[in-house]
């Protein structure tokens, strides 16, 4: 699958769709605390938007996230989640007790911030893993075994 199977029609459709899919992914992640959605769903949507570009443009597309970047994305997502959990320990709270750090006067606002933060972490992890598995299945990004 080294060659993109793009055509003018696919290219135009993907150009039209991809920004909206990515925007909708951002909406689903950030709005997860007041409507159905959240990190898992938003991460899958984010990965779907990028896979659309990968499928229509093939390997050397311009804003592709390669396997290495996807691995970094997945790791940073899990680390962001765990890091947000560790933060309250510095102020004497429990693990993942978002309102322990004295950021705002309103503890509920801090809990919302913590919730959105871990949702972003989940979304990054899910998106990174989906991109990685897709790359591995498609066989892209395998180094040339010359030596």
Partner 1 sequence: MKATAFALTLVAAAVFIHASSALPAFGTADAPASAHVSPRYIERGYEETGAHNLVTAVLADYRGYDTLGETTVIFTAGLAALLIIGAGAAWSWEGRPR
Residue 96 belongs to what H/E stretch?
none
Give Cα 36 to chain centroid, integer Å: 18
Residue 128 belongs to what H/E stretch?
helix 107-138
> Least distance from C-beta 113 to partner 1, angstroms?
9
Q: In a 3-state reduction of DSSP, which class is residue 132?
A: helix
Which sign, positive or negative, has the C-alpha torsion 72, 117, 35, 94? Answer: positive
The nearer residue to partner 1, 12 or 75, going by C-beta atoms, is 75
Tell me, by CB under 8 A, how many residues bind partner 1: 44
Q: Which of residues 19-38 bind partner 1 (CB under 8 A)?
A: 32-38
- For residue 119 the two structure tokens come to 């949702």
- Which of 2-10, 18-26, 48-56, 114-122 is the region at the interface with partner 1 (rule: CB under 8 A)? 114-122
Q: Which residues bind partner 1 (CB under 8 A)?
A: 32-39, 66-69, 74-75, 77-78, 81-82, 85, 95-96, 98, 108-109, 111-112, 114-115, 118-119, 121-122, 125-126, 129-130, 132-133, 136-137, 141-143, 145
């Amino acid at each position: 699958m080294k060659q993109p199977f793009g055509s003018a029609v696919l290219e135009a459709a993907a150009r039209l769709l991809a920004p909206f899919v990515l925007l909708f992914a951002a909406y689903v992640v950030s709005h997860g605390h007041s409507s159905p959605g959240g990190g898992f769903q938003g991460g899958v949507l984010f990965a779907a938007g990028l896979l659309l570009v990968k499928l229509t443009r093939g390997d050397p597309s311009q804003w592709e996230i390669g396997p290495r970047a996807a691995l970094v994305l997945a790791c940073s997502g899990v680390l962001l989640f765990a890091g947000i959990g560790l933060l309250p320990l510095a102020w004497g709270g429990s693990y993942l007790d978002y309102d322990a750090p004295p950021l705002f006067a309103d503890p509920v606002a801090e809990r919302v911030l913590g919730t959105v933060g871990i949702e972003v972490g989940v979304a990054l992890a899910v998106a990174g893993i989906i991109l990685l598995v897709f790359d591995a299945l498609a066989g892209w990004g395998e180094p040339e075994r010359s030596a």
